[in-house]
Amino acid sequence: MATGMAAAPAMAREPRGHGAPPAPPPTLDVASFQGQAAQYVGKPVRIEGCTITSANSGGADCAAFRIADLPGKVDWNGAIPLDGPTMEEASFRKAQQICGDTGQHEQCRADVTGVVYDPFGDMGVQGQRNFELRQVRIHWLAEPPRKGSSRPMRQATR
> Which CATH number, 2.40.30, 1.10.10, 2.40.50, 1.10.3470, labels domain 27-140?
2.40.50
Sign of CA dihedral 47, 32, 82, 94: positive
**pLDDT tens-digit map of 33-42:** 999 999 999 9
**pLDDT tens-digit map of 98-126:** 999 888 889 999 999 999 999 887 787 77
pTM, two decimal places: 0.73
Residues 63-71: what's their mean pLDDT? 72
Domain boundaries, the chain: 27-140
Is the Cβ–Cβ distance between 70 and 82 less than 8 Å?
Answer: no
